[in-house]
Amino acid sequence: MSITLRGELYLIGWAVDQHCVELDILLQKRRNKAAAKRFSNACSPRVRRAARIVTDELMKHPTINPFPAATA
Residue 27 in domain: yes
Contact 10, 27 (CB under 8 A): yes
What does the alpha-carbon distance between residue 64 and residue 20 come to, in Å, rounded to a whole number? 8
pLDDT tens readout for residues 4-19:
878 888 777 766 666 6
Q: Report the Cα 58 to chain-centroid distance in Å.
A: 10
What does the alpha-carbon distance between residue 10 and residue 3 come to, in Å, rounded to a whole number? 5
Range of the domain at 9: 2-47
Residue 57 in domain: no
Residue 43 in domain: yes
pLDDT tens readout for residues 32-59:
777 777 776 676 665 666 656 565 555 5
pLDDT for position 8: 83
Helix (H, G, I), strand (E, B) or coil at 2: strand
Residue 30 in domain: yes
- Number of folded domains that form the chain: 1
Residue 31 in domain: yes
Q: Quote the strand ranges of the chain, DSSP E.
A: 2-5, 8-16, 22-28
Residue 53 in domain: no
